[in-house]
C-alpha cells in the first residue's frame, strides 16, 4: 500500500525558496520561455542641407563711357550688390585692349586710352569710332561688360607736331650754318658738346630701380626723392621729423645714389647732351644711346619708372611725398625731344612706341588729375608757373592743342595774381634766394611764351593784365638792378650774394630770352651771352 504524500506549508515554502532553478527538482531552463522585448527604434537620418543656389551679383553705376583721341582719360565707379556674404566686390584683373585700365575691389576705375595704338593710325576725323569692351568680374564670378566708346578727332585738331617741340629748329639750323662756316664760337661749342656726349656713351644707364631707399608704396619703380631743403631734426633723438631750411641744399640726400633725385637729374642732362650731339653730328651712335636711356627709364618692364611723382620730395617723419616733387621734372621735355628724334629716325619698334606714348598719356593724366598734381597747379609762385610749362609741353606733344591754349590762359591768371604793379614777383622776393627764384619763375614764363607762339595761337607775351602787368613788365622790373645791384634789398644767400647772382644767373637768362623770343629785353649796354654754355650757344643762335 502506497503512502500518501502530505504537502505542508513548509514544503510549499521550501519549493518557493528554491525558485524552481535546480536541475534536480526545478524548472528546465535549457529552453527558456520567450521574453517580450521593446524594439529599439531605428534612428531617423539627419538630412544633409541642400546648398542654396549662389545668388548672382548685380552691377550698377558707370558701365559705359566715352573718350576721344584728344580726351583720353575716363574714371568711374561700378557698384556690386550681392546678397551672399562677402561677395559684394570686384576682382581687379580686368584689362583693356586699346589703353590701360585699372579697377579697385570697391569698383573705382580709371581708363587711359593710348592714342598711339595702331588701331587709330588711319583715323582722320571725328566720325571714326571704336568700342573698348572690358569684362568685369565680381567676387562670385558673375561678369558684366564696361563699354567705352572711342571717338576720333579731325586730324588737324589732334596732329602731334612734326617739328621738335622744345627746341627751335630754326635756331638749330642757324647754328649749323655758323658751324659749317667755321665760326670760332660755334666750332668751340660743338667740340665741347661732343666731348660731353662721348662721356655719356661710356656711362651705364642708371634707372629708378637702382635706388636703395624704397618709397612708402613699397614699389621700387616709383620715383623717390627727399625734399632738397630738408634736414634731420637736431632736436630729436631719431632726427624726425626732418626740418625745412629755405635755400639750404642738402647734398647728402640730393646727390647720393640711395634715392632718385640725382639719377633723374643726370638722366635728363644726358638726354639734352645726346639729343644735340646727334642733331649736329648726325651720328646715330648718340641717338642710339639716348634710345637706350629712354627705353630703360620708361619702356622696359623690369626697370621703367611708374608714370607718377607720388613720392617725390618726401619728408622723413612728415610725408611720403609732396606736389613739390613735380618741379623736379620740369625738364621732362628732354625726354620728349629724344622720343621725337627716335621716331623721326625710325628706331622704335611699334610695341616700344606704343608703350612710350602710353607712359606720357598716363603721366599727363596723373599730373592733371591726382591730388598732388592739382595741389601743385594751385601754387602761387614759381611752382605753379613751372607746372603750367610742364603741362603745356605734354599737351602739345599729345596733340591736345585746345587744352594747350587753355593752359596758357591759366598762366595769364598767374600773371594777374603773381606780378605786382611794379613788375616784381613778391612771392619770389621773400625767399632766401630772391634772385634765383625770380629768374626761375621768369624763365618758366619765357618758355611758355615760346611754346605758345610756335605751337598754338595763344601768345602770352601779348597779354597785359590788371595794373598793366605782363611778362615784359617782370623783365623791366629786374633790368635796372644790373647796374645798381646794391638797390636789390632782398635776401640772396647763395651765388656770392646779389651782384654775382644778377650777373652770372639773371643776365645770361635775359640774353637767352631775347634770342628765344626775338624781343628787345635788355638795353644795348647789357649782354649776358658771354656766360653761355656750349649747349646754350648752339641752342640759341641769333
Asked if residue 531 has pLDDT above 90, the reply is yes
149 and 129 in contact (C-beta within 8 Å)?
A: yes
Q: Please tell me the predicted confidence (pLDDT) of residue 464.
A: 98
Q: Please tell me the predicted confidence (pLDDT) of residue 224.
A: 97
Q: What percent of the chain has pLDDT over 70?
A: 88
Provide mean pLDDT across the span 291-312: 98
512 and 171 in contact (C-beta within 8 Å)?
A: no
Measured distance CA(31)–CA(54) in Å, rounded: 64
396 SS3 class: helix
Half-sphere exposure of 407 (CA within 13 A, CB side): 27
175 and 186 in contact (C-beta within 8 Å)?
A: yes
Q: CATH number for the 169-540 domain, one of 3.40.50.10710, 3.40.720.10, 3.30.1490.20, 1.50.10.100? A: 1.50.10.100
Q: What angle is formed at CA 149 by the lines to CA 143 and CA 150, rounded to 5 degrees?
A: 130
Alpha-carbon torsion, ordered 513, 334, 224, 369, to 10 deg: 80
Q: Spell out the domain ranges in the chain.
A: 58-151, 169-540
Q: What are 519-524's contacts with CB under 8 Å, separation 24+? A: 519/461, 519/472, 521/472, 521/475, 521/479, 522/479, 523/479
Measured distance CA(112)–CA(115) in Å, rounded: 9
pLDDT interval class at 445 (50, 70, 90): very high
pTM, two decimal places: 0.76
Q: Please tell me the predicted confidence (pLDDT) of residue 3.
A: 43
pLDDT interval class at 117 (50, 70, 90): confident
Q: Please tell me the predicted confidence (pLDDT) of residue 253.
A: 80
Higher pLDDT pick, 20 / 481: 481
Mean pLDDT is lowest, of 43-57, 136-150, 243-257, 413-427, for 43-57
Asked if residue 298 has pLDDT above 80, the reply is yes
126 and 153 in contact (C-beta within 8 Å)?
A: yes
pLDDT interval class at 154 (50, 70, 90): low
Asked if residue 4 has pLDDT above 70, the reply is no
CATH class of residue range 58-151: mainly beta
Q: Please tell me the predicted confidence (pLDDT) of residue 49.
A: 58
pLDDT interval class at 118 (50, 70, 90): confident
Asked if residue 236 has pLDDT above 70, the reply is yes
Residues 6+ apart with CB under 8 A from 95: 101, 134
pLDDT interval class at 48 (50, 70, 90): low
Cell triple for residue 165? 617741340
| pLDDT tens per residue across span 465-476 | 989 999 999 999
Higher pLDDT pick, 42 / 488: 488
Mean pLDDT is lowest, of 30-39, 512-521, 533-542, for 30-39
Residue 415 to residues 425, 468, 508, Cα–Cα distance (Å) = 9, 10, 23
pLDDT interval class at 249 (50, 70, 90): confident
Higher pLDDT pick, 186 / 38: 186
* 31 class by beta-carbon count within 10 Å (0-12 exposed, 13-18 middle, 19+ buried): exposed
Asked if residue 66 has pLDDT above 80, the reply is yes
Measured distance CA(77)–CA(417) in Å, rounded: 37
Asked if residue 160 has pLDDT above 90, the reply is no
Rounded to the nearest 10 degrees, the angle between the axes of helix 333-344 and helix 350-369 is 160
Cross-strand pairs, 109: 76, 103
Q: Please tell me the predicted confidence (pLDDT) of residue 159.
A: 62
Q: Please tell me the predicted confidence (pLDDT) of residue 377.
A: 98
Q: Please, what is the average pLDDT of the chain?
A: 90
Q: Please tell me the predicted confidence (pLDDT) of residue 155.
A: 58
Q: Please tell me the predicted confidence (pLDDT) of residue 33.
A: 47
Provide mean pLDDT across the span 418-424: 98
Pairing of strands 143-151, 243-244: unpaired
Q: Where are the alpha helices (DSSP H) in 202-349?
A: 251-254, 261-281, 284-298, 333-344
Higher pLDDT pick, 15 / 459: 459
Cross-strand pairs, 65: 148
Q: Please tell me the predicted confidence (pLDDT) of residue 51.
A: 54
Asked if residue 24 has pLDDT above 60, the reply is no
Q: Please tell me the predicted confidence (pLDDT) of residue 39.
A: 58
419 and 425 in contact (C-beta within 8 Å)?
A: yes
Provide mean pLDDT across the span 516-520: 98
Q: Please tell me the predicted confidence (pLDDT) of residue 27.
A: 41
Pairing of strands 243-244, 230-231: antiparallel
| pLDDT tens per residue across span 491-513 | 999 999 999 999 999 999 999 99
Buried b (16+ CB within 10 A) or exposed e, 235-266: eeeeeeebbeeebeebeebbebeebbbbbbee
Provide mean pLDDT across the span 39-45: 62
Q: What percent of the chain has pLDDT over 90?
A: 75
Q: Where are the alpha helices (DSSP H) in 169-301?
A: 169-180, 184-201, 251-254, 261-281, 284-298
Mean pLDDT is lowest, of 158-167, 216-225, 269-278, 325-334, for 158-167
Give residue 286's region: left, alpha or beta (phi > 0; psi -120 to 50): alpha
239 and 250 in contact (C-beta within 8 Å)?
A: no
Asked if residue 442 has pLDDT above 90, the reply is yes
pLDDT interval class at 477 (50, 70, 90): very high
Provide mean pLDDT across the span 21-39: 45
Higher pLDDT pick, 85 / 478: 478
Asked if residue 121 has pLDDT above 80, the reply is no
Q: Please tell me the predicted confidence (pLDDT) of residue 25.
A: 40
Q: Please tell me the predicted confidence (pLDDT) of residue 152.
A: 84
306 SS3 class: coil
How many Cβ atoms sit within 10 Å of the Cβ of residue 22?
A: 10
Q: Please tell me the predicted confidence (pLDDT) of residue 40.
A: 59
Higher pLDDT pick, 14 / 281: 281
Q: Single out the residue of 474, 380, 365 nearest to residue 427, CA to CA.
A: 380
Asked if residue 444 has pLDDT above 90, the reply is yes
pLDDT interval class at 373 (50, 70, 90): very high
Provide mean pLDDT across the span 19-23: 42
Amino acid at each position: 500500500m502506497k503512502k500518501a504524500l502530505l504537502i505542508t506549508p513548509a514544503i510549499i515554502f521550501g519549493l518557493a525558496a528554491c525558485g524552481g532553478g535546480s536541475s534536480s527538482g526545478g524548472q528546465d531552463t535549457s529552453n527558456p520561455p520567450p521574453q517580450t522585448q521593446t524594439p529599439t527604434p531605428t534612428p531617423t537620418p539627419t538630412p544633409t542641407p541642400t546648398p542654396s543656389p549662389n545668388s548672382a551679383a548685380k552691377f550698377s553705376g558707370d558701365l559705359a563711357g566715352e573718350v576721344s583721341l584728344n580726351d583720353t582719360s575716363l574714371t568711374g565707379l561700378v557698384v556690386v550688390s550681392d546678397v551672399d556674404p562677402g561677395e559684394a566686390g570686384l576682382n581687379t584683373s580686368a584689362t583693356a585692349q586699346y589703353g590701360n585700365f585699372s579697377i579697385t575691389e570697391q569698383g573705382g576705375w580709371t581708363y587711359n586710352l593710348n592714342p598711339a595704338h595702331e588701331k587709330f593710325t588711319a583715323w582722320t576725323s571725328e566720325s571714326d569710332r571704336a568700342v573698348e569692351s572690358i569684362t568685369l568680374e565680381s567676387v562670385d564670378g558673375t561678369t558684366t561688360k564696361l563699354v567705352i566708346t572711342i571717338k576720333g578727332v579731325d586730324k588737324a585738331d589732334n596732329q602731334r607736331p612734326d617739328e621738335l617741340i622744345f627746341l627751335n629748329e630754326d635756331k638749330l639750323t642757324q647754328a649749323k650754318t655758323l658751324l659749317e662756316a667755321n665760326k670760332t664760337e660755334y666750332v668751340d661749342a660743338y667740340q665741347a658738346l661732343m666731348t660731353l656726349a662721348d662721356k655719356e656713351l661710356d656711362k651705364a644707364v642708371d634707372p629708378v630701380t637702382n635706388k636703395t631707399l624704397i618709397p612708402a608704396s613699397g614699389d621700387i619703380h616709383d620715383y623717390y626723392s627727399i625734399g632738397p631743403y630738408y634736414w634731420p631734426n637736431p632736436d630729436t633723438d631719431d632726427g624726425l621729423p626732418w626740418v625745412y631750411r629755405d635755400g639750404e641744399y642738402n647734398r647728402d640726400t640730393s646727390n647720393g645714389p640711395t634715392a632718385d633725385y640725382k639719377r633723374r637729374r643726370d638722366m635728363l642732362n644726358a638726354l639734352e647732351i645726346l639729343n644735340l650731339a646727334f642733331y649736329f653730328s648726325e651720328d646715330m651712335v648718340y641717338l642710339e644711346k639716348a634710345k637706350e636711356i629712354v627705353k630703360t627709364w620708361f619702356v622696359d618692364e623690369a626697370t621703367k619708372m611708374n608714370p607718377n611723382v607720388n613720392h617725390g620730395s618726401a619728408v622723413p617723419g612728415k610725408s611720403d611725398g609732396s606736389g613739390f616733387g613735380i618741379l623736379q621734372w620740369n625738364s621732362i621735355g628732354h625726354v620728349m625731344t629724344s622720343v621725337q628724334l627716335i621716331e623721326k629716325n625710325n628706331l622704335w619698334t611699334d610695341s616700344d612706341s606704343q608703350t612710350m606714348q602710353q607712359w606720357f598719356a598716363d603721366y599727363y593724366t596723373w599730373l592733371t588729375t591726382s591730388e598732388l598734381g592739382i595741389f601743385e597747379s594751385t601754387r602761387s609762385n614759381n611752382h605753379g608757373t613751372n607746372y603750367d610749362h610742364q603741362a603745356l609741353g605734354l599737351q602739345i606733344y599729345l596733340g591736345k592743342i585746345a587744352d594747350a591754349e587753355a593752359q596758357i590762359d591759366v598762366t595769364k591768371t598767374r600773371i594777374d595774381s603773381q606780378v605786382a604793379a611794379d613788375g616784381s614777383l613778391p612771392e619770389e622776393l621773400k625767399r632766401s634766394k630772391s634772385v634765383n627764384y625770380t629768374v626761375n619763375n621768369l624763365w618758366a614764363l619765357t618758355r611758355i611764351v615760346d611754346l605758345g607762339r610756335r605751337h598754338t595761337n595763344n601768345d602770352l607775351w601779348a597779354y597785359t593784365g590788371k595794373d598793366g602787368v605782363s611778362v615784359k613788365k617782370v623783365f623791366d622790373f629786374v633790368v635796372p638792378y644790373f647796374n645798381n645791384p646794391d638797390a636789390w634789398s632782398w635776401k640772396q644767400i647763395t651765388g656770392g650774394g646779389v651782384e654775382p647772382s644778377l650777373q652770372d644767373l639773371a643776365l645770361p637768362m635775359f640774353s637767352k630770352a631775347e634770342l628765344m623770343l626775338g624781343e628787345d629785353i635788355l638795353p644795348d649796354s647789357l649782354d649776358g651771352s658771354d656766360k653761355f654754355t656750349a649747349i646754350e650757344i648752339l641752342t640759341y643762335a641769333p
